[in-house]
Amino acid sequence: MSAKEEDYSSYLAYESVALQVLALLCGFTFTAITLLITLLPNPGSFQSQFTLFFLAFMFYIFQFMLFYGIFYLSYCIKAVPPEAKGRRIVMWLWFSSFSLWGVAIVLMFLLWNLTYLAMASGIVYILFTLLTIIFVWKPVLELYRKIRPQK
C-alpha cells in the first residue's frame, strides 16, 4: 500500500460487526413474531396485534439498515476480479430472496386471519422495499457499472 492510499481495515471491521448485529436483530425479531403469533392465546386482540405490528416494523427497519450497510461496504472496493462477471445474477437472486423474507411476515399474519395487521404490515413492507430500491439499489448499480471490469 502506498503512502497516499488510505487503510480502511478498521472501518471495515467496525462495519462488519455492525452488520452482524443487524442480522442478529433481524433474526431475533422474526423469531419473536413467529413465537408470539403461535403462543399468544388471542393474537387477534388489539394489544397482540399492536405488539406484532411493532415487531414487524422493527424487522423492516433492521432489514433496510442491513441492506444499506452491506451495499455501503461496496464503496470500499477498489477493483473487481474478472471472474465476478456472473455475479449480477447472484446479486439479483440475493436481493429477491432477502426482500421476500419480509413477505413471510405478511403471509404469517394472513395465515392466522389477521387481515388488517397483514394489510398494515404489507404497506410498511412496500414502503421499505421502495426505500431500499431508491437509497440502496440505484446507487449500488451505478457503482457496479463504474467498477465493473472492462472487456
User: pLDDT tens, 35-68?
Assistant: 999 999 999 999 999 999 999 999 999 999 998 9
Name the most confidently modeled range: 75-79, 95-99, 119-123: 119-123
Distance CA 63, CA 99 (A): 8
pLDDT score of 85 more than 70: no
Which residues lie closer than 8 Å to 141 by C-beta, 6 or more apart?
Answer: none
Distance CA 146, CA 151 (A): 13
Residue with cell 449480477: 88
Instruction: For residue 7, report the phi and psi dihedrals to the nearest 5 degrees.
Output: -95, 115
Model pLDDT for residues 114-136, shown as the tens digit of each residue: 999 999 999 999 999 999 999 98
Residue type, 146: K
